[in-house]
Amino acid sequence: GEDEFWRSWLALAQWGEQDAGPADVDLAQARLVTGEQSNTSILFPRAGGGAILKVFRAVVRGANPDVDVPRALVQAGWTGVPAPLAWLELSWPEERTGLLDLGVLSELVADAADGFELACAYAAEARSFETEAFELGRTVAEMHDALARAMPTAGQTVGIEWLRSELRHRARGSAAQAPVLSTRLPAIEALLSRLGTDVPTDLLLSLQQIHGDLHLGQVLYSP
């Protein structure tokens, strides 16, 4: 049954907390998370708070950012991300080197609102989202600062002109897909034109692994 599957999953997983383990998780109270998701999520009560198990539907070779990035951020001392409690990897013999991340068990953020649903609720009530957007921007900036400390660069570099061109391309593409953004495009273009004007044009920027896919639906707003 399902209980036996979850029990086996937790027993095979690698646990990151010294004092945590499968015995802390209450399998009898497991609850499947419904709604639109790219992965399958299960809620578990546990000693000291809840946990959420994310089982990856699309499995690819190599470290999964859902495991790798939060783990690195927590190790760097940043508290803006739920800490991974355990993760399950599949590896091969030496002739087929590599690994697959199959899922991750993370801390459950209590009393959290989905960022996208919250923004939609504000819009429906004609309420300003300015304060929450400011807090979100500050948090994302803090995350990038923590990532710079936590994860090494990728060994690749790009020029400032490439960065400016890439950002301009993304801004124009977003405005084309969502015409409501077109009124903001001139200000964005002006900002990008000033980008890097006080640095040498031949400056090379080191590329670094970051958070990957990030949108409002992946943001939690909680006390």
Q: Is 71 in contact with 16 (CB distance < 8 Å)?
A: yes
Do 31 and 43 form a contact (C-beta atoms < 8 A)? yes
Q: At what angle do helices 130-150 and 115-124 cross, to 10 degrees?
A: 160
Task: State the alpha helices, DSSP H only, in the chain.
Answer: 2-12, 65-75, 115-124, 130-150, 160-177, 185-194
Q: How many residues does the chain have?
A: 223
Phi and psi torsions of 208, nearest 5°: -140, 145
HSE (side-chain half, CA atoms, 13 Å) at 211: 18
Q: Kindly tell me if the per-residue pLDDT of 134 is higher than 90.
A: yes
pLDDT for the residue numbered 138: 95
Backbone dihedral angles phi then psi of residue 114, each to the nearest 5 degrees: -65, 130
Pairing of strands 40-44, 113-114: unpaired
Least confident of 7-21, 111-125, 186-200: 7-21
> Hey, is 114 helix, strand or coil?
strand
Q: What is the DSSP string of 24-49?
A: GB-GGG-EE--SS-SSEEEEE-BTTS
- Whether the full predicted model's pTM is greater than 0.85, yes or no, is no
**pLDDT tens track for 155-190:** 788 888 888 899 999 999 999 999 888 999 999 999
Looking at residue 66, its pLDDT comes to 85
Q: What confidence tens digit (pLDDT) does each residue in 80-99 have? A: 999 999 998 887 665 555 67
Per-residue confidence (pLDDT) for residue 158, from 0 to 100: 84
For residues 211 and 143, the answer to whether their CB atoms sit within 8 Å is yes
Tokens describing residue 139:
């948090």
**Which are the contacts of 58, defined by CB distance < 8 A and separation ≥ 6?**
38
β-pairing, 40-44 with 51-55? antiparallel
Beta bridge partners of 157: 206
